[in-house]
Amino acid sequence: MSKKQTSAAPRRHYDDQFKADAVQLLENGQRSVPDVAKSLGVSANMLYRWRDLAKADKGQVTNQAELVQLREQLRRTEQERDILKKALSIFSRMT
């Protein structure tokens, strides 16, 4: 018995900037996914995956920004509550 050896092409690794540039070409809306894939020498499926990951990352950044904003709003509201408690305490002693 002889073993068949397949000579699969080695996996190519693309840096984050390359992926971001590829996604940017798609987001411009001027070129189709197959067209961009062919010009960059990558598969269309890979471009779809990069695009989906980029959208997920944007959503995560948006959620983090909203979380920071809500925490700041909570901090201000708690400060206002503490001031009103102190004021209530002061005004109750006056009567």
* Residue range 54-87, pLDDT digits in tens: 888 777 777 888 889 999 999 999 999 999 999 9
Compute the Cα dihedral for 46, 14, 38, 47 and give only its sign. positive
Q: How far apart are CA 23 and CA 51, in angstroms?
A: 6
**What secondary structure letter does DSSP report for 78?**
H
State pLDDT tens for residues 4-43. 666 666 778 888 888 888 888 888 877 888 998 898 899 9
Q: How far apart are CA 16 and CA 20, in angstroms?
A: 6
Q: Which residues contact 14 (CB under 8 A, 6 or more apart)?
A: 42
pTM: 0.52
Domains of the chain, earliest start first = 16-94 (1.10.10)
